[in-house]
Amino acid sequence: MSKYKAIILDRDGTLNKDRGYVHKIDDFELLPGIIEGLTLLKNDYLFFIITNQSGIGKDYYSIEDFWKFNNHLTSVLKKKGITIEKTYFCPHKKEDNCDCRKPKTKFIKEILSLYIIDLNNSWVIGDHPSDILLGVNGGLKTIYLLTGHGNKHAKELKEKKIKPTFVANNFLDAARYIKSHSK
Ligand SMILES: [Mg+2]
Ligand SMILES: [Zn+2]
């Protein structure tokens, strides 16, 4: 049976501009290079989103608000011929100690229960150290983006000795890196 390769995408600060607990369609803004980057990869990889949404647990917005915003994002991508297979979100606060908040790997396990994935040749892309840890914990390669919160948290990577496979200035650089290192 043939295996799929996957790219697990963080959402806020990776695909769309992170305005802090972003959830209103009016605040939706795709970051530069997303369409071009995903188009470069779409024939070789399945795309998933895994996103921490503690704003739900904090009652800043509802699960319904979350899906409205997320459906908007995925439909914008769809119009450009890009499919997100599935979106997973953790609605909990950090202190809830749930088993789905990144860098925990519950959602990766769920993906693996639905698809046969070649993890060694799959990637996590994100702008937060917890995205890189998610990839490390799940056995995927990782790209740390300096967009979104990336710059702000870059020294945390060093302090905690978290090593992404690659550090990219933006999404298109990330996509080009993956494309050129694709097996
Ligand atoms: Mg992010
Ligand atoms: Zn959770």
Contact 142, 132 (CB under 8 A): yes
Q: What CATH architecture does domain 6-180 belong to?
A: 3-Layer(aba) Sandwich (3.40)
* pLDDT number for residue 148: 76
User: pLDDT tens-digit profile of 125-172?
Assistant: 999 999 999 999 999 999 999 987 888 898 999 899 999 999 999 999
Please count the CA atoms within 13 angstroms of the CA of 136 that sit on its side-chain side. 14
Question: Which residues are designated catalytic?
Answer: 10, 12
* pLDDT number for residue 63: 98
Q: What is the dihedral of CA 112, 138, 142, 30, to 10 degrees?
A: 50
Q: What are the sequence ranges of the domains in the chain?
A: 6-180
CA-CA distance, 168 to 146, in Å (whole number)? 6
Q: What proportion of the chain, given as a percentage, has pLDDT over 70?
A: 99
Q: Which residues surround ligand 1, an ion (CB under 5 A)?
A: 10, 12-13, 127-128
Report how far ligand 2's centroid is from the alpha carbon of 60 (Å).
16
* pLDDT number for residue 147: 86
**Residue 1: helix, strand or coil by DSSP?**
coil
Give Cβ neighbours of residue 165 (< 8 Å, ≥ 6 apart): 123, 141, 142, 143
pTM of the model: 0.97
